[in-house]
Structure 1
């Protein structure tokens, strides 16, 4: 055994100097004292190729003198065998990482999956939905298990309690579990078929979602009541009420209105161009603004700024996602949803005007489901949509009756 020279008292008493210095303990073990006052154990040795090298053992006093000597003896034995202690340490770290990865639980895999993909999701709410459904339904049953230990029976234990009562949630949860287990397989954390796969697997064990789910539609205001509702809304004070008005006039979605900035608006045309990253279809959407929409924008206190159009309680920040629903609640119309006003426009267009269906669909920024039609349609029917949106605004204001709108539409599109 190497001769030991140091005493613990010397180690504790060693004071920092202007430059690094070492206290020798023998057998290649040194206590390195830095100008900062930090002290580190170091083992110096000769590699098998004859070159001098060193390896850090750890900080003093967290690593005691006796522990440092034990580590020195182990490193000396490795050198005697012809091994390089620094190489052995790297190999140990690599094995530890592999072992840690192989022992990852489903919950840990899920967290990594969400972290890797949340940047591609449209909003924070989507990330929260993933986390909430997994936390509520999956983690209590399979969260602590390794991906390779999860089988079909366990997946069914997660899904069956809510498959019939909350099928939409259960269907999304199944897809999320499937994605996480697929990712785990790519990482070598499991083998075989995915127990959460639907086609050819769970579809034989669970009722089809189409047989369980009941179609849900956003509550919409009947279009004959639109003018009366608009007058009540106009009388409501506050930025949120104006944002709801603007959303109805432009037939846009809540998040599109709340995210609107003055830089997206050109009131000289007038037009509002919503960038692709804020659109559900992921492409720019040009919205022709009616005179009523322009007048509303000109009345806002943020007019002339460069920030958001509909500012919330915090300066420079938009209204919250619940602000427009809160307006409906104050108006004692909790039976309605903001999104439902898009259906009101669609029903009114179909039943009261001569505007073609594709004009209304384009106004709502609906994706063209027919791939052939989508490939050949290059325009966005902007001029026809401008006529539609102006007619809609006039109808809301009570200036056009049903017959007037039909005649107006025929003149515009004829």
Structure 2
């Protein structure tokens, strides 16, 4: 009698309930319904194991023999075929993770390093808008440079900044997938960039009003509304619109406005708070704004929350101006450069910019508060139509 290949396909189909050996450890086990299953008996590390190879007749005799021989080969190689199959299934399951799930998990992991735990959505939105609609349901293991190129090509030259953000966020997601143990191509985004080529987009600065024209505009903001008051304080302090729009009464102590570090652009939660000196003109505006305050916020919107950046921009747009609120920071910076002797570090700190390398910042403990106060006092004289001489600063 043959040691193996004892059964035939036709004979196996005709067999009744029972256990039938094909040899070399392969068995067909049939039940009363005439259906059955294939079982392979092997000895691994001195221990007898039984391994299912599929149901009968869905798995044919030829297929069962093929699966059995592969398992025997693993045993000869010192492996447990049952554990190997379990491992392969786990890997297959991991590789089925789609990009959307990985992206959400990556976002959750990074929230602690984002402003406000990423609630504004700016980190995730490039992925959500430009990547996930096309690739969100694709397993990360299947994503290659061609997929990424086809996804970003429509905006690569027209929305270059957004496309770059989407690509960098996707690279982070691919790295996150690799850290999860998924098989991904970590060079896919790099190769996609090569396929996309150099962007034809040219960065344009936000239009800014000349510092010489700021007094006339400032004087026109005279109706005491929330929008007018917010724009006036924006001009006087040189602050970004985000922290200003969310200015809360609790942030003002005497003649200093303390902006929480996590709300500063490009900064993380560990960054110290940023102090803004408030000159008399700015303090007067805050006092008037308190009459409009809601839940402590000095610049509330009509319905809920605070006014949007678009609210201030629309005011300028309605006047036929191409300039935008953020441009007043440039107005201030140009004024500093052209009419004062402000040192570079002081001028940059006035705009809340991080100055110097990390080691240099570690040793420099001053935030130039009093120097900035003197400069903002003169800036206030300028924007309110008064004259002032060049300010001599005490060097830190």
**Is the TM value for this pair above 0.5?**
yes
- Residue 398 of structure 1 aligns to a residue whose secondary structure is coil
- How far off is 1:176 after superposition? 1.5
- Is 1:410 the counterpart of 2:392 in the alignment? yes
Write the deviation string for residues 306-351 of structure 1: whole angstroms up to 9, x where unpaired: 7212222247x32234222233234432x11211101000001111
Report the 3-state secondary structure (helix = DSSP H, G, I; strand = E; otherwise coil) of the residue aligned with 1:410.
Answer: coil
Partner of 2:302: 313
Give the Å deviation of 1:354: 2.2
Number of residue equivalences: 310
1:365 correspondence with 2:352 = yes
Partner of residue 341, structure 1: 328
Q: 2:280 aligns with which of 269, 291, 310?
A: 291
Show the counterpart of 1:271.
256
CA distance in 1, matches of 2:370, 2:120: 38
Q: Counterparts of 2:395 and 2:120 in 1: how far apart (Å)?
A: 44
Contact 1:303–1:309 (CA under 8 A) maintained in structure 2: yes
User: Any residues of structure 2 matched to 1:149-298 within 5 Å, and which?
Assistant: 149-196=142-189, 198=190, 201-202=191-192, 204-208=194-198, 212-233=200-221, 235-267=222-254, 270-280=255-265, 281=267, 282-298=271-287
Q: Which runs of 5+ in 2 are unaligned?
A: 1-87
Cα distance in 2 between the residues matched to 1:203 and 1:346:
35
Question: d(CA) in 2 for partners of 1:239 and 1:127?
Answer: 23
Contact 1:242 1:296 in 2 (8 A): yes
CA distance in 2, matches of 1:101, 1:353: 61
- Contact 2:248–2:297 (Cα < 8 Å) also in 1: yes
Q: Which moved more, 1:251-260 or 1:156-165?
A: 156-165
* Structure 1 gaps, min length 5: 1-94
| Match 1:112 to one of 105, 111, 114 | 105
Q: CA deviation at 1:120?
A: 3.8
Tell me how far apart the structure 1 counterparts of residues 365 and 118 of structure 2 sit (CA, whole Å): 33
Q: Which residue of 2 aligns with 1:37?
A: none
Asked whether 1:121 is paired with 2:114, we answer: yes
How has the CA–CA distance of structure 1 residues 202 and 101 changed in structure 2, closer, same or farther, with 3 Å as cutoff?
Answer: closer
Residues 321 and 101 (structure 1), Cα distance of their counterparts in 2 relative to 1, 3 Å cut: farther
Which residue of the partner structure matches residue 28 of structure 1? none
Q: 1:254 to 1:127 in 2, by over 3 A?
A: closer
| CA distance in structure 1 between the partners assigned to 2:179 and 2:357 by the alignment | 34
1:124 CA displacement? 8.4
1:202 and 1:238 map into 2 onto residues whose CA distance is 50
TM-score after normalising by structure 2? 0.69
Alpha-carbon distance between aligned partners in 2 of 1:323 and 1:96, rounded to the nearest angstrom: 55
Residue 327 of structure 1 aligns to a residue whose secondary structure is helix
**How much does 1:261 deviate?**
1.2
Shift of 1:123: 5.2
Q: Which residue is 2:377 aligned to? A: 390
C-alpha distance 236-168 of structure 1, shift in aligned 2 (>3 A): same
Distance verdict in 2 for CA 1:398–1:121, change over 3 Å: same
How many angstroms apart in 2 are the aligned matches of 1:136 and 1:264? 35
Q: Distance in 2 between matches of 1:387 and 1:279?
A: 23
